[in-house]
Amino acid sequence: MTARGSTEPASALPVLQERLAAALDAARQAWPGVSLEGPRFAAHLARLVPADGDEAAWGKLHMVDVYLARAAADGLPSALATFEARLMPEVDAAVSRLKLPAAGLDEVRQLLRQRMLVGSADAPARLAAYPGTGPLAGWVRAAALWLALDWQRQRSGQAQSEDGDLSMLVAPGDDPELAYLKQTYRAEFSASFTAALAALSARQRNFLRLKYLDGLGIDQLGALYGVHRSTAARWVVGAQEELLDGTRQRLTERLRLTRSQLDSVLRLISSQLDVSLSRLLRTHSE
């Protein structure tokens, strides 16, 4: 196996092959009946281990969990059955303190299955992005808790009242004019942001949600889409810039302000919207 397209020196190949063989053997012993092909496992590991990865880098990966995640993301029936039996109980453990009703717990389970195992044309199965740096069970618990909290917010009405506009950006140190603009033009801002978000492609919206709502890093996004981290970073930055530019353009068209006021609003958008994307995207999520 060569990591991320690199060419290993001939002297390193035996060591690399031994590591891969050992990882494959351990994974198949841990998950009997789950038969992910060796080359497929090797190609996936190449996205997770640095090209110059030494024994320490390999040792940090939870190899048996990486194997199961890749197999389940590929839709292998044995892996899906194992995921259901061994990892879906983590959902109950993660959200028990939230005391969700039975219907809520069932919905969270279904959402988790959909996102982790199925995905869509624009957002592949989330398990493909599992980085292997922590136990898979913990990764699943974190995802389940996030979904459960989101379910609670939506049912309690907080999603509608949780500052989906400029008023969310009011800070104690704001000057009076800026605070006034934030409060006064929140409806225009919300409409502009929503229109700019809708104008993005489905894939661009997914990039932003994966990063800002699901907390995936650039390396995880690259692994999810099977591209180098620099490509994933470029995609995310491009989607974010298009969203910000679209919001500014639409807000400018909607507002009837003096030049000074318009400059203040645009300065606000430029400086603060990028750090508020996670809350805004959650409020406007489809």
Q: What percent of the chain has pLDDT over 70?
A: 69
Q: Which amino acid is at 197?
A: L
What is the distance between the alpha carbons of residues 112 and 137, in angstroms, rounded to a whole number? Answer: 13
Asked if 87 and 140 count as a contact pair (C-beta separation under 8 A), the reply is yes
**Which residue bears the tokens 């809520």?**
104
Q: Which residue has the higher pLDDT, 157 or 3?
A: 157
Percent of the chain whose pLDDT exceeds 90: 19
- pTM > 0.85: no
- pLDDT of 109 higher than 90: yes
CB 249 within 8 A of CB 199: no
A 10 A CB-CB count for 46 gives 19
CA distance 29 to 233: 36
Report the pLDDT value the prediction gives residue 215, as an integer from 0 to 100. Answer: 72
User: Which residues 6+ apart lie within 8 Å of 120 measured at CB?
Assistant: none
What average pLDDT does the segment 197-225 reach? Answer: 81
Half-sphere exposure of 268 (CA within 13 A, CB side): 27
Dist CA 148 CA 139 (whole Å): 14
d(CA 240, CA 211): 11
Handedness of CA 213, 218, 224, 227 (dihedral sign): positive
- The pLDDT of 172-184, averaged and rounded, is 52
pLDDT at residue 158, as a whole number:
45
Q: Environment class of residue 1 by beta-carbon count within 10 Å: exposed (0-12), middle (13-18) or buried (19+)? A: middle
pLDDT of 132: 85
At residue 266, the pLDDT reads: 63
Contact of 181 with 153, CB cutoff 8 Å: no
Of the two residues 14 and 116, the one the predictor is more confident about is 116
Structural domain boundaries in the chain: 15-153, 176-283
Q: Which of 68-72, 95-99, 187-191 has the lowest mean pLDDT?
A: 187-191
Cα 191 to the chain's mean position, in Å?
A: 25
Dihedral sign from CA coordinates of 95, 139, 274, 200: negative
pLDDT tens digits for range 211-224: 877 777 788 888 77
Chain-wide mean pLDDT for the chain?
A: 76
More confident residue, 30 or 206: 30
- Whether 153 and 285 have beta carbons less than 8 Å apart is answered as no
Which residues fall within 8 angstroms of residue 286, CB to CB, at 6 or more apart? 205
